[in-house]
């Protein structure tokens, strides 16, 4: 079997509430009629155009290769493209998209779900948390400005059966503007500290002691603010303190030694080489590799296996289309150190759900692992008819 062509799409979902959302996906075709889908998970931020171009460059290198040789292809892309070694998100997102598509093909070829190829299903449904409630928890993106907004969003998720939620309490100001770097770094004044911790306290009081809270930071704060806020957050029984600073193993060590909350990191850490220093210095308790940016399923599984050596848990980072959700479910079902699954509020929005043919949603806080061959989901026709498409042959 050989790869004969690759479709690369920059999908125009035209969201009215989130104009920066630009998914980059691909479909890899073979000469036996089997195809596989993948995603470069850089739909947000400012990198999607780079991923779109990098995917085109990398796709040219895999034409004619056997799609079942995922290790061979991964090593070729890593070692023969110069920039992949010690590369960043644009390079590894392109590698990830191709790699995910190869695993989809492999599962379809052998007529089994990807989790079977990864060693078998350790669990059929995954405990999930409602993620990024500062953006709301409905079917449209509605930023939370007041403390009451945060409380209401949390209560809505809990009413649906979730026993874990994640919120960035330092994203939006009460007046409606989004905090910028100049406002979130360096030691914070009492009024800001009172606002951020007050939101956390109000949510904890509203949902009670039996629901886990993950306190998100998005690396917007620096190490000093992370310690300042982290110490005050300890009394509210925070499950994880996520992305407390710019990803750096020494800075992470500084923070971890000064607060008594487990630290989660990983959506901006790539490959085994990126994660190794965090494992070695003991500064990370939960990793969050994004299969659409860390190097794909091939690399993601190796990262998780490394984490297991150090008793570090895994929660795949998922902020992309339902295709990335399906890939994460396959991996998380198969690894022994799975902790919890991220269900991002973007998964509830129509413009995102329309990208794939299946819509997997948690029920009472648990999401089922697809048993279909391959990833268990695939791109819908919408991805091929809306936006820009390039075919590499």
Note the pLDDT tens digit of each residue in 340-349: 999 999 999 9
Q: Is residue 374 assigned to a domain?
A: no
What is the CATH classification number for the domain harbouring 234? 3.20.20.120
Question: pLDDT at residue 18 above 90?
Answer: no
- Number of domains making up the chain: 2
Quick check: helix, strand or coil at residue 393?
coil
Query: Has residue 38 been placed in a domain?
Result: yes
3-state secondary structure 131-184: ECHHHCCCCCCCCCCCHHHHHHHHHHHHHCCCCEEEECCCCECCCCCECCHHHH
Predicted confidence at residue 25, as pLDDT, reads: 98
Are residue 146 and residue 79 in the same domain, yes or no?
A: no
H or E segment and range at residue 24:
strand 24-30
How sure is the predictor about 4, in pLDDT bands with cuts at 50, 70 and 90? very high
Domain membership of residue 170 (yes or no) is yes
Does a structural domain hold residue 149?
A: yes
- Residue 17, pLDDT score: 79
- Same structural domain for residues 157 and 300? yes
Percent of the chain exceeding pLDDT 90 equals 98
Whether residues 250 and 385 share a domain: the answer is no
Do 224 and 143 lie in one domain? The reply is yes
One domain, residues 207 and 99:
no
Q: What is the pLDDT of residues 101-145, one digit of tens each?
A: 999 999 999 999 999 999 999 999 999 999 999 999 999 999 999
The answer to whether residue 140 is domain-embedded is yes
Q: Are 90 and 54 in contact (CB under 8 A)?
A: yes
Indicate whether 76 pLDDT > 90.
yes
Residue 275 has pLDDT above 90, yes or no: yes
- For the segment 7-33, the average pLDDT, to the nearest whole number, is 93
Q: Provide the pLDDT for residue 58.
A: 98
Domain membership flag for residue 327: yes
Instruction: Give domain status of residue 160, yes or no.
Output: yes
* Domain shared by 120 and 105, yes or no: no
- Average of per-residue pLDDT across 356-367: 98
Looking at the fold, whether 137 and 171 belong to one and the same domain comes out as yes
Contact of 264 with 288, CB cutoff 8 Å: yes
Asked whether the predicted pLDDT for residue 14 surpasses 90, the reply is no
> How far apart, in whole angstroms, are the C-alpha atoms of residue 116 and residue 110?
10
What whole-number distance in Å separates Cα of residue 171 and Cα of residue 174?
Answer: 10
**pLDDT given for residue 53 in this prediction:** 98
- Residue 16: the pLDDT is 78
Same domain, 328 and 301: yes
- For residues 134 and 62, membership in a common domain is answered with no
- Per the CB < 8 A criterion, the answer to whether 11 and 51 are in contact is no
pLDDT bracket for residue 91 (50, 70, 90):
very high
319, pLDDT greater than 90: yes
CA distance 43 to 40: 8
Same domain flag for 15 and 79: yes
- Give the confidence band of 296 by pLDDT, cuts at 50, 70, 90: very high
Q: Which of 261, 323, 360 is nearest to 97 (CA)?
A: 323
With a cut of 90, say whether residue 15 has pLDDT above it.
no
Distance CA 22, CA 35 (A): 23
Q: Is the same domain home to 52 and 139?
A: no
Residue 229 and residue 363 share a domain: yes
Domain with 359, as residue range(s), is 116-368
Q: Are strands 313-314 and 35-40 parallel, antiparallel or unpaired?
A: unpaired
Within a domain: 262: yes
10 Å Cβ neighbour count for 358? 16
What's 88's domain CATH number? 3.30.390.10
Separation of alpha carbons 103 and 113, rounded Å: 9
pLDDT at residue 20, as a whole number? 87
């Amino acid at each position: 079997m050989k790869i004969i062509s690759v479709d690369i799409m920059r999908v125009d979902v035209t969201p009215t509430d989130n104009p920066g959302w630009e998914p980059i996906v691909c479909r890899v075709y073979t000469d036996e009629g089997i195809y596989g889908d993948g995603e470069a998970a850089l739909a947000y931020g400012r990198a999607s155009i780079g991923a779109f171009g990098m995917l085109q460059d990398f796709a040219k290198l895999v034409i004619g290769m056997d799609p079942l040789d995922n290790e061979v292809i991964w090593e070729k892309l890593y070692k023969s493209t110069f920039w992949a070694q010690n590369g960043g998100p644009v390079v590894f997102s392109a590698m990830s998209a191709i790699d995910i598509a190869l695993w989809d093909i492999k599962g379809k070829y052998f007529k089994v779900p990807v989790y079977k190829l990864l060693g078998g299903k350790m669990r059929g449904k995954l405990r999930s948390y409602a993620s990024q409630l500062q953006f709301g928890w409905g079917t449209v993106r509605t930023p939370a400005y007041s403390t009451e907004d945060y409380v209401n969003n949390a209560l809505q998720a809990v009413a649906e059966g979730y026993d874990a939620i994640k919120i960035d309490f330092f994203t939006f100001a009460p007046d409606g503007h989004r905090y910028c770097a100049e406002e979130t770094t360096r030691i914070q004044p009492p009024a800001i500290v009172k606002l951020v911790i007050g939101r956390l306290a109000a949510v904890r009081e509203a949902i009670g002691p039996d629901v886990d809270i993950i306190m998100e930071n998005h690396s917007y704060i620096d190490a000093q603010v992370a310690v300042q806020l982290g110490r005050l957050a300890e009394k509210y029984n925070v499950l994880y303190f996520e992305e407390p600073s710019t990803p750096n193993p020494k800075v992470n060590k500084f923070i971890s030694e000064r607060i008594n909350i487990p630290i989660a990191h990983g959506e901006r850490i790539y490959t085994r080489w990126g994660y190794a220093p965090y494992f070695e210095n003991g500064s990370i308790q939960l990793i969050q590799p994004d299969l659409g940016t860390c190097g794909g399923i091939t690399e993601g599984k190796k990262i998780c296996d490394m984490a297991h050596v150090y008793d570090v848990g895994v929660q795949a980072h998922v902020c992309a289309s339902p295709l990335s959700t399906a890939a994460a479910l396959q991996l998380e079902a198969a690894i022994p150190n799975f902790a919890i699954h991220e269900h991002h509020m973007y998964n509830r929005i129509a413009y995102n759900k329309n990208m794939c043919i299946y819509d997997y949603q948690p029920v009472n806080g648990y999401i089922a692992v697809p048993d279909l061959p391959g990833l268990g989901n695939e791109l819908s026709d919408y991805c091929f008819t809306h936006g820009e498409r390039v075919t590499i042959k």
